[in-house]
Structure 1
Amino acid sequence: MLTSKQRAILRGKANTMDPVFIVGKGEIDETMIQGVKDCLDARELIKLKVLESSMYNAREASVKLAEATGADCVQVIGSKFVLYLQKKKDSAYADLLK
């Protein structure tokens, strides 16, 4: 669980990021969950976007993906959201979040 101060730091880092995944018309399935998990394992902090034609809004998609991957939802703004999953070792953000 992230504190508000940690969340603010991660929001600042994610501000300049581009979305790496897009939730479209289809359902959030195991393939997408595994792709997001792999990306989180590599990057720790990722931004995702939900299309207007999706069956989910950004809040619903963020909750579903955060629960499925074990990540924390950092923020949801409009159609975009940010997820964070700290690496076990060699974390790029561990020093910032102390």
Structure 2
Amino acid sequence: MANLSIQERKRLRQIGHALNPVVMLGTHGVSESVVEETLRALNDHELIKVKIAGEDREARVQAMDELAQKTGAEVVQKIGKIALLYKKAPQQNAKLSNLVRHAHVSN
């Protein structure tokens, strides 16, 4: 996936600020079911927040990167236990896409 420009990242972070996590990573890490659920959420919403449990910072960062790699998503931002992931949907759904629904947030 191509790297996002600074302006694109800024806009995605602005939209992501109002979002709640839709995928939660537990102590079992990046399992096949978590990858499938993340892919479904990315296909529907394009921009999602993922919450990762655990106190080990390096393990959380590694899990975030592994999930992004397995789903083909771009990590827009990492803050503590929350990661903001973006992946352009093959066919955008205007009712579900966070990019369409929050298009009014700064361009």
TM-score by length of 2: 0.78
Q: Which residue does the alignment assign to 1:8? A: 10
- Among 16, 19, 25, the alignment partner of 1:17 is 19
1:10 Cα deviation from its structure 2 partner: 0.2
Paired residue for 1:32?
Answer: 34
Find the residue that maps to 2:75 and give its secondary structure. Answer: strand
The offset of 1:90, in angstroms, is 3.0
Structure 1 residue runs of 4 or more that deviate by more than 4 Å after TM superposition: none
What CA distance in whole angstroms lies between the structure 2 residues aligned with 1:49 and 1:33? 13
Q: Percent identity among equivalent residues?
A: 28
Q: Trace 1:1-98 onto structure 2 (pairs within 5 A).
A: 1-52=3-54, 56-57=59-60, 59-90=61-92, 93=99
| 1:56 CA displacement | 2.8
Aligned length: 95
Specify every segment of 5 or more residues in structure 2 that has no aligned partner in the other structure, as ranges. Answer: none
Secondary structure of 2:39 counterpart: helix
TM-score by length of 1: 0.84
1:40-73 deviation digits (Å, cap 9, x = unpaired) = 001000001111257931x212211111011100
Which stretches in structure 1 are left out of the alignment for 5+ residues? none
1:20 alignment partner, SS class: strand
Aligned partners of 2:22 and 2:59: how far apart in 1?
A: 17
User: Matches of 2:43 and 2:85 in 1, distance apart?
Assistant: 11
CA distance in 2, matches of 1:12, 1:76: 14
- Per the alignment, in what secondary structure is the counterpart of residue 5 of structure 1? helix
CA distance in 2, matches of 1:32, 1:88: 20
Whole-angstrom CA distance in 1 between matches of 2:91 and 2:53: 34
